[in-house]
Structure 1
Amino acid sequence: MKMKELLLFLSCVLCVSADVLHEEIRITGCSESDGEEMYGLDGEEVAYADFNKQKYMYPQPPFVDPFTFREGVYEQAVANQQICRDNLQTGRKGMKDFPPEEDVPSAVMIYTRDEVEFGEKNTLICHVTGFYPAPVNVSWTKNQQKVTGSSINVPYPNKDGTFTQISRLEFTPQLGDIYSCAVQHLALTQPLTKIYEVEVSPRSDPGVGPSVFCGVGLTLGLVGVAAGTFFLVKGNECS
C-alpha cells in the first residue's frame, strides 16, 4: 500500500480548561484528491462531511437524542476544503515539500460490541490506533473468505498527533467460525491481522437460573427457621 499524496490536517480544540468536563474538537484535513471535516466530543465522532454523498453524516448511537447542525454546514465544509488545499500548496512551496513521517499502528484490537449469543446478531469491532498519517485500510474475512459490508469511521486524532480508526462488521455468531481483520497502512510492509474465533457456549436454559435461586432461597429459609426455633427453645430452658 503506497501513498504519494501529501496531507494537511488542521485541528482546533474548542473547549478545554481545568474546570470543563467535556472536550469538543473540529478537524479539517485535505490532500490533493481527498479531504475530511469532522466534529468530535470527548473522544467520540459526532458528525462528519461525506464528500462522496455530498452531505453531513451523524453516526450517533440509537439511544441518544438525535441532533443536526444548522443548514449550510456541508457547503461550508466544501469551502473549507478549498482553503485547506490552498494552504497545502503554500506550505509545500515554503518548506520545499514536507518531510515524510510514518508511524505504524501501535495497537490493533478485535472484539464484539455485545456479549456473544449463538444465532443472535452482533457487531465485530476492529480498533486501530497510534498510526500516522491517516487513513488505514481494513479488510475482513470469515473462515478465510473475504467478506463485504463492513464500515469504517473517518480518522480521529489522538492527543499525541497520531490517529484512530474503527471498522465494524455485522455478523451472527456460530460455533467454530473464525473472523479476521487485516490492517494496511503506509508504514507497514505487510498487513497487521487480528483473529476472532467464536468459542463461547450457547446461552443456558433461562428456566434453570430462577429454579436454582428459588431452591437455594427456600433451603436458606428453612435453615433460618430451624436455627431460630433452636435458640428459642434453649432460651426458654435457661430461663
Structure 2
Amino acid sequence: MMMMKVKVSELVLVLSWVLCVSAEVQHENIYISGCSDSDGEQMYGLDGEELWYADFVNKRGVYPLPSFSNSFRYEEGVYEAAVADEHTCKLNLNLALRGMKDYPMENDPPSSPIIYSRDDVELDQQNTLICHVTGFYPAPVKIHWTKNGQNVTEGTSIDVPFPNKDGSFRQTSRLEFTPQLGDVYSCTVDHPALDQPLTRIWDVEVQQPSVGPAVFCGLGLTVGLLGVAAGTFFLIKGNECS
C-alpha cells in the first residue's frame, strides 16, 4: 500500500518506510533522503531510533546512538553514496517544484518542547540537557539554547528530523553543560506554523541542604520569529515483507 502526503515550498524531502514482519519479531526500517537548494539530508533508522545520518557540513557519517547501546556499523562508502544521492536529488528538485506549484501550503505546529537532563544532576559534574519537540510538519524546526539569558552555541547539537507514524516529525537538540547553583537554561523552538517561538525554562536549585540539587521545568515565552525553511515532503509507506 502506498500513502503520499504532499506539501509545497522550496524543499523536497523523500521518505520511504518499509515494515518487515516475521512470526517472532516486527521491526520498522526507515530511510530518509532529501535536499534543498542549499542543504540536504540522508538518514537511516530502525524501530524509532536514528542509526546513521550524513553530516554534509563536516563531510562525514554520524552514528548518533551511544556506542554501548548499538555496535552496528554500515559498510564503507555509505557517506559517498549519500553524496551521490544528494546530487541526484538536486537535479530533480526544480522539476518536482514546477510540477507541484499549485498544491496548497500547510503547516502543523510543534508541541511545547520537553527539556530534561540526561543524567541525575550533580553540581560541577558534566551533564547533557536534552530538548525534544514533536508533532510538526514540515521539517525541520530551529532550536536554540540560552544560559542565564545569553545565547549558547558551543556544546550544542541537533539530530535530523525523524518521522512519526502520523506523517509529522520529531527532533531533538542537546547541550553539554556543567550545572552550577542558580544557573538558568532555556530551549527555544521555532517553526513556520508558530505565531511566536516556544520556550521551555530549566533551572538548577537546591531544595534542602540534605537533599542536594533538584531541577524543575517551567514554561516561558519569547518574542520574535526566526525564519525556518519550509518543505515539500513525499511520505511513501512500503509493503510488508517477511
When the two structures are superposed, what TM-score results if normalisation uses the length of structure 2?
0.75
Bigger mean CA deviation after superposition, 195-204 or 119-128:
195-204
Tell me which of 181, 200, 206 is aligned to 2:187.
Answer: 181
The answer to whether the Cα contact below 8 Å between 2:145 and 2:151 also exists between their aligned partners in 1 is yes
1:14/1:21 CA distance change after superposition, 3 Å: same
The match for 2:20 is: 16
Aligned mates of 2:55, 2:35 — CA distance in 1:
13
SS at match of 1:23: strand
SS at match of 2:189: strand
Bigger mean CA deviation after superposition, 38-47 or 10-19:
10-19
Aligned mates of 2:183, 2:198 — CA distance in 1:
20
1:202/1:46 CA distance change after superposition, 3 Å: farther
Identity level (%): 57
The match for 1:195 is: 201
Q: Does residue 126 of structure 2 align to residue 121 of structure 1?
A: yes
1:202/1:15 CA distance change after superposition, 3 Å: farther
Whose relative contact order is higher, 1 or 2, with alpha carbons under 8 Å and at least 6 apart?
2
The answer to whether the Cα contact below 8 Å between 1:91 and 1:97 also exists between their aligned partners in 2 is no
Counterpart AA for 2:138: P
Query: How do residues 4-153 of structure 1 correspond to structure 2 at under 5 angstroms?
Result: 6-17=10-21, 19=23, 20-149=25-154, 150-153=156-159
The total of aligned residue pairs comes to: 202
1:126/1:65 CA distance change after superposition, 3 Å: closer
Aligned mates of 2:18, 2:75 — CA distance in 1:
18
Q: What runs of 5+ residues in structure 2 fail to find an aligned partner?
A: 1-7, 212-242
Bigger mean CA deviation after superposition, 54-63 or 64-73:
64-73
Aligned mates of 1:140, 1:103 — CA distance in 2:
23
SS at match of 2:20: coil
Measured against aligned partners, the alpha-carbon deviations of 1:115-135 in whole angstroms (never above 9, x if no partner) come to 112222111111011111111
Is the strand fraction higher in 1 or 2?
Answer: 2
The answer to whether the Cα contact below 8 Å between 1:116 and 1:200 also exists between their aligned partners in 2 is no
User: Aligned-residue CA RMSD in angstroms?
Assistant: 2.3
Measured against aligned partners, the alpha-carbon deviations of 1:76-117 in whole angstroms (never above 9, x if no partner) come to 112211332344322222233543121110231111111112
Is the helix fraction higher in 1 or 2?
Answer: 1
Q: What runs of 5+ residues in structure 1 fail to find an aligned partner?
A: 206-239
1:158/1:55 CA distance change after superposition, 3 Å: same
1:39/1:140 CA distance change after superposition, 3 Å: same
Q: Does residue 166 of structure 2 align to residue 160 of structure 1?
A: yes
When the two structures are superposed, what TM-score results if normalisation uses the length of structure 1?
0.76
